[in-house]
Amino acid sequence: MRCRNKNEVSFVLEYWASLNGILSNGSFIHAGKLSFENKYLEHVIGIIDSILIAETKQRKLKLWTSDKKILKLLTPQYIFEL
């Protein structure tokens, strides 16, 4: 975690706490299937990123990331913005 001040640290920790349970049962299987169906490997998206994308979509969350590869694969409804 790289933050510039205490407010950012607090914000990141609160955001992380809201992701409680992201690795639910079957998340690796679901992410692998999603990765195969959408050819994520061709976009250089690995299993961890696939899990983040799959769980974000399944739980209808907003993902906070600056990873351009992931951002290309998500519609705006799944992207967290400050």
Q: What is the pLDDT of residues 19-37, one digit of tens each?
A: 666 655 677 788 888 899 9
Q: Please report, in angstroms and rounded to a whole number, the separation of the first and last CA atoms in the chain.
A: 17
- String of b and e for 6-30 (b: at least 16 CB within 10 Å)? eeeeeeeeeeeeeeeeeeeeebeeb
Q: Does residue 6 carry a pLDDT above 70?
A: yes
Q: Give the per-residue pLDDT at 8.
A: 80
> What are the tens digits of pLDDT across the range 33-80?
889 999 998 989 988 899 899 989 988 999 999 999 999 999 999 999
The pTM of the whole model exceeds 0.75:
no
